Structure 1
């Protein structure tokens, strides 16, 4: 999804603010708390999907930053007192953010690849969001390198189905499937749900937006030296990934992630001329089948029709992955997972000194994943409904 950047033609950070957090700005209800399967959105309500703000199982961390740093839990990281959040805390938090951004890409790719007409509106919407998530992943990797860390991308690759990394949005199970309305509601919208929900439990799990706010506050308080050595510059879809050099760059980078995706809280009155809906609202348009428009009683999905596309019936990947597969499907699964592993290795290499060449190689290999994925989606499951699909398993290199 990217090539070597043309410095003269692309702005350092492209901003999109259209309809971000329209529901919150207009006072409309957002999603209820609980499991992803528990919410059934009304057809004319903005929320349309679950916030899945349930309990965080981890107790609050007490004491040193080091005690929180090794736990990989957003709740424990956020429990560290603000005056104890130094550079080590930032490195730990940014590594969790790497896992969070990476976890969104496989389910979105499955939904996108399952659409038969790739020129249609819904396919183009999801493809744009995949590009945004790749951009967000690049941003947090650059931020981590800027404070002296090294992203561990392959190590952060999640297993599907499973929870979001770091314990955010407890109750949401992220699974892989072809595009269906329940998948849009229970996975895509659940991941991207805005900050405010109709109900939160007393021990609500931290949201992605709160987590990024905490990181930004730590950057402002610590004001760490930012090194550009090892950061990567790359054109990713319509955005330009560039090194983070100043605190202003940090603030804008985190603002972009929040405005385009999870935890958005800006107002539609702040929109730019080329802006598009934040991810939650784009997915809401797919789910409701209508564009989001402002009405006298708030934001509603009452705009022009957004027809649900004709899709390949990829069944949800089961716990443990596909088993007892026909030989052809098994070969495709292994080929896909080997290519996916190469993508992750290339991403790791990019922020370990390989720079834009390694990142470009990873992006090119990622494009090649579509062919075996679509071929899998054409193979019926012998003992069940639907077809196979990619399971995004990272293959580990054997130790020598």
Structure 2
């Protein structure tokens, strides 16, 4: 089996320098926008009629003064949060599936983070239905390669491939980057954590009545998803998402007392090949080795998907996309009806994605030393190429 392991292109202990997720979007925000500008259609207070956000929504939402934010603002922001949280799962899954030894340190770290992201998705879906919205995950499913949802951080291109140091650095770490990494002297007050700060401010200002109808309670990995009924519940839920992703302002740990590093620093350990240690009051990647794992050499999925794959690969791609579509449909049903059985169905179907995904990763792309991999394209969602080169769904 071909291997894609290798040494990181930066020495351990060198600071990690990534731009924050929302910095560019916020700098481009300009004057305040009315909340209605964040949607592409009339906004109705009912969950069925609320329009999906359009690209650039985050910059518009953050620019709206706190006093002008209302329940519609919360729904628009939470739609973006749902899309962002879901968009992380496919690239993380591809990296994890490509690892040959699932018992190695890197595999365990990524598997835990995938579970956390599924938990975060559940949290923001509960928050959205709590304020009268409805997640539409199938309709807004991300297309790869492409930017992060909502027009955030235009410098990040999220793509699907097997685990490489480039994927860890340019996708995984870039998505999770905190405003001011403890391993870096840079400071940027805006990050995905800032977006959640703005959400929390709006919840405190608007003080919406939170309905438990259609919210779900379910065990997800090591966490338990619970209905969000009070402002204290909202505060705790947002704190969990921030701490698990970015860490606290004083520690790279997730702040939950479970001994886990926040996602950004866990990915950075894989990238640098060393554990993170505090030495002389500074955090550095100088600890025990974290060997980069041997992986299946899944190629980067091209814009528009694989071009004329052989029959065997085509069958696996169709099987994968059929099951993936079922995952999205079950997730939509779960929060449209408040049905925990549909959520469990989605989880079971997601586990079934691994077999065709690994099968594709064992199948060489003709003329290369790399292999195929899943495209994560819902059935019935044809794509076309935009001038940017990224594919977009035709709705």
Same fold by TM-score, threshold 0.5 exceeded?
Answer: yes
Which sections of structure 2, spanning at least 5 residues, go unmatched?
1-7, 41-52, 383-395
CA-to-aligned-CA distance 1:208-239 (integer Å, 9 cap, x gap): 11111100000011111000000011110000
Aligned counterpart for 1:376 among listed residues 360, 367, 392: 360
TM-aligned CA deviation for residue 207 of structure 1? 2.6
Aligned counterpart for 1:43 among listed residues 2, 9, 12: 12
CA-to-aligned-CA distance 1:33-90 (integer Å, 9 cap, x gap): xxxxxx9755313426554666339653545322234453100111111101110100
Distance in 2 between the 1:265 and 1:107 partners? 27
Contact 1:167/1:205 (8 A) holds in 2: no
TM-aligned CA deviation for residue 166 of structure 1? 1.2
Q: Does the C-alpha gap of structure 1 residues 337 and 299 become closer, same or farther in structure 2, counting only changes over 3 Å?
A: same
Aligned counterpart for 1:121 among listed residues 99, 105, 111: 105
- The worse-fitting range, judged by mean Cα deviation, of 164-173 and 42-51 is 42-51
Aligned counterpart for 1:92 among listed residues 56, 60, 76: 76
Contact 2:305/2:375 (8 A) holds in 1: yes
- In structure 1, what is the equivalent of residue 289 of structure 2? 305
- In structure 2, what is the equivalent of residue 65 of structure 1? 35
Distance in 2 between the 1:310 and 1:49 partners? 26
TM-aligned CA deviation for residue 331 of structure 1? 0.8
Distance in 1 between the 2:252 and 2:24 partners? 31
Distance in 1 between the 2:69 and 2:246 partners? 23
- In structure 2, what is the equivalent of residue 11 of structure 1? none
> What is the count of residue pairs matched by the alignment?
357
TM-aligned CA deviation for residue 384 of structure 1? 2.5
- In structure 1, what is the equivalent of residue 203 of structure 2? 219
1:283-302 alignment runs, 5 A limit: 283-296=267-280, 298-302=282-286
Aligned counterpart for 1:240 among listed residues 224, 231, 253: 224
Contact 2:298/2:373 (8 A) holds in 1: yes
Distance in 1 between the 2:20 and 2:73 partners? 27
Contact 1:132/1:260 (8 A) holds in 2: yes
Partner-residue secondary structure (3-state), 1:386? coil
CA-to-aligned-CA distance 1:302-325 (integer Å, 9 cap, x gap): 111111111000011111111110
Q: Does 1:55 align with 2:24?
A: yes
Distance in 1 between the 2:253 and 2:172 partners? 25
Q: Does 1:154 align with 2:124?
A: no
TM-aligned CA deviation for residue 350 of structure 1? 0.2
Taking structure 1 as the reference length, the TM-score comes to 0.84
1:65-84 alignment runs, 5 A limit: 65-70=35-40, 71-72=53-54, 73-84=57-68
Contact 2:247/2:254 (8 A) holds in 1: no
Whose relative contact order is higher, 1 or 2, with alpha carbons under 8 Å and at least 6 apart? 1
Partner-residue secondary structure (3-state), 1:299? strand
- The worse-fitting range, judged by mean Cα deviation, of 204-213 and 326-335 is 204-213
Which sections of structure 1, spanning at least 5 residues, go unmatched?
1-38
